[in-house]
Amino acid sequence: MDAQAEQLAEPHFPFAVPGGHSSAKPTHIGNHCVMFAISCGLTDMEDAMPAHWTQTYRAQIIVALLLLCGAGVMALFRLPLQLLPDLEEPSISIWTAWPGSAPSEIERAITEPQERVMRGLEGLSEISANANAGNSFLNLQFAPGTDLDPVFVEVISRLQRVPALPREASPPVVTRGSDGPERTLIYYFVQMLPGTEGPVERYQALVEQKVLPRLQQVPGVASARINSGPDSELRIEIDPVRAAALGIQLPSLVATLSSLDDVSAGAVEFGRTSYTLRLHGRFEPEALDQLPVGQIDGRVVRLSEIGQARFQRPDRAGFSYQNGNPALTLQLFRESNTNVLDTLARLDQEVAAIRDEVLTPAGLAMEKSFEPGIFIKRALSFLGGNLGLGLVAALICLWLFLRDVRATVLIAIAVPVSLCCTLLVLALLGRNLNMISIAGLAFAVGMVMDAAIVVVESALSEQKRGASLVQAAVQGTRRVAGALVASTVTTVAVFLPVLALKDVEGQVFADLALTISIAVVVSLAVALWVVPALLPMLIRSDADRRLDVAWPKLAARLASASEPTRRAVPIALLLVVGPILAAIWLAPPRDYLPPVKRAAVDAFLQMPPGMGADRIESELVQPILERMRPYMEGKQEPALLNYYIITWPNGGTLGARVKDPSRIGELETLLNDKILAGLPDMQAFAREGELFGAFGGGARSIWIHLRGSEIEALQTAAARAETLIRAALPNADVQTNPNAAADAVEIAVLPNDQRLAELGLNRAWLADSLRVLGDGRFLGEYFDGERRQPILLRAPAATALEDLAATPLATPAGAVGLGELADLSRTRAPAELRRVNFSRAVTVSIAPSDSEALEDVMALLSRDVLPTLRRDLPVGISLEVGGSAGKLDALSMSLLSNLGLALLCLALILMLLLRSAFDTAAVLATLPLAALGGVLGLRILGWFVPQPLDLLTMIGFVMLLSMVVANAVLLVSETRAAEADGNSLDAAIEIALSERLRALTLGALTGVVGALPLAVSPGPAAAIYRGLAAVTCGGVTLSLLLVAVLIPALLHLPRAWRGQHEPMNLINTSVPSHLGVSP
Residue 728 · residue 865 · CB < 8 Å:
yes
Residue 798 has pLDDT above 80, yes or no: yes
Out of 777, 803, 829, pick the residue that ends a domain.
829
Q: Residue range 986-1007: average pLDDT? A: 80
Together in a domain, 923 and 1047: yes
User: 44 falls in which pLDDT band (50, 70, 90)?
Assistant: very low
Q: Which of 344-348, 389-393, 659-663 has the lowest mean pLDDT?
A: 389-393
Together in a domain, 406 and 550: yes
Together in a domain, 917 and 1033: yes
Together in a domain, 419 and 488: yes
b/e burial code for range 413-432 (CB count within 10 A of at least 16 → b): bbbbbbbbbbbbbbbeeebb
User: 1019 falls in which pLDDT band (50, 70, 90)?
Assistant: low
More confident: 283 or 634 = 634
CATH code assigned at 257: 3.30.2090.10
Alpha-carbon torsion 405, 411, 413, 415, what sign? negative
* pLDDT given for residue 47 in this prediction: 42
Residue 46 has pLDDT above 50, yes or no: no
* pLDDT given for residue 1075 in this prediction: 28
User: Radius of gyration (Cα) for the chain, nearest Å?
Assistant: 37
In a domain, 884, yes or no: no
In a domain, 240, yes or no: yes
The predicted-structure confidence for 728-768, as pLDDT tens digits, reads as follows: 988 888 888 887 666 677 888 899 999 999 899 999 899 88
Q: Residue range 325-337: average pLDDT? A: 87
Expressed in percent and rounded to 5, the helix, strand and coil fractions of the chain are: 55, 20, 25
* pLDDT given for residue 4 in this prediction: 37
The predicted-structure confidence for 437-496, as pLDDT tens digits, reads as follows: 888 888 888 788 888 888 888 888 787 777 888 888 888 888 888 778 877 887 787 777
Give me the residues paired with residue 368 across strands.
188
User: 264 falls in which pLDDT band (50, 70, 90)?
Assistant: confident
In a domain, 615, yes or no: no
Residue 679 has pLDDT above 80, yes or no: yes
- The secondary structure element, H or E, covering residue 356 is none
- Give the single-character DSSP code of 462: H
In a domain, 471, yes or no: yes
The predicted-structure confidence for 118-145, as pLDDT tens digits, reads as follows: 998 888 888 999 998 888 999 998 887 7
SS3 at position 110:
helix
CATH code assigned at 446: 1.20.1640.10
User: 87 falls in which pLDDT band (50, 70, 90)?
Assistant: low
Together in a domain, 925 and 802: no
User: 821 falls in which pLDDT band (50, 70, 90)?
Assistant: very high
> How far apart are the C-alpha atoms of 903 and 931, rounded to whole Å?
14
In a domain, 273, yes or no: yes
Angle at 756 between CA 751 and CA 759, to 5 degrees: 160
Q: Which of 380-384, 416-420, 945-949, 1010-1014 has the lowest mean pLDDT?
A: 380-384
Q: What are phi and psi of 780, to 5 degrees?
A: 140, -160
Angle at 296 between CA 291 and CA 299, to 5 degrees: 65
- The gap between the terminal CA atoms of the chain, to the nearest Å, is 13
Together in a domain, 1047 and 933: yes
Out of 829, 844, 875, pick the residue that ends a domain.
829
The predicted-structure confidence for 273-326, as pLDDT tens digits, reads as follows: 888 888 887 778 888 888 898 888 888 889 889 999 888 888 888 899 999 999
The predicted-structure confidence for 504-539, as pLDDT tens digits, reads as follows: 666 777 888 888 889 989 999 998 888 888 888 887
Together in a domain, 952 and 1021: yes
In a domain, 763, yes or no: yes
Together in a domain, 943 and 825: no
SS3 at position 752:
coil
The predicted-structure confidence for 703-714, as pLDDT tens digits, reads as follows: 888 999 888 888
* pLDDT given for residue 858 in this prediction: 86
Together in a domain, 395 and 304: no
Give me the residues paired with residue 746 across strands.
827
Of 459, 449, 457, the residue nearest 520 (C-alpha): 449
Q: Which of 72-76, 676-680, 696-700 has the lowest mean pLDDT?
A: 696-700
- The set of residues, in sequence order, having a beta carbon less than 8 Å from that of 560 and lying 6+ positions away, is none
Count the domains in the chain: 2
Between 985-1016 and 951-980, two packed helices, what is the crossing angle to 10 degrees? 160
> How far apart are the C-alpha atoms of 755 and 291, rounded to whole Å?
32
Together in a domain, 800 and 949: no
Residue 891 · residue 743 · CB < 8 Å:
no
**863, burial (CB in 10 Å: exposed 0-12, middle 13-18, buried 19+):** exposed
User: 189 falls in which pLDDT band (50, 70, 90)?
Assistant: very high
Q: Residue range 592-608: average pLDDT? A: 80
Residue 23 has pLDDT above 60, yes or no: no
Residue 930 · residue 1013 · CB < 8 Å:
no
Alpha-carbon torsion 80, 85, 88, 93, what sign? negative
CA 788 to chain centre: 38
State the residue range of the domain holding 813.
233-312+745-829
Residue 211 has pLDDT above 90, yes or no: yes
Q: Which of 353-367, 556-570, 803-817, 975-989 has the lowest mean pLDDT?
A: 556-570
Together in a domain, 820 and 899: no
More confident: 443 or 45 = 443
In a domain, 144, yes or no: no
Instruction: Please report, rounded to a whole number, the percentage of residues in the chain having pLDDT higher than 70.
Output: 87
In a domain, 768, yes or no: yes
Q: Which of 245-259, 806-820, 899-913 has the lowest mean pLDDT?
A: 899-913
Together in a domain, 381 and 308: no
Out of 829, 854, 882, pick the residue that ends a domain.
829
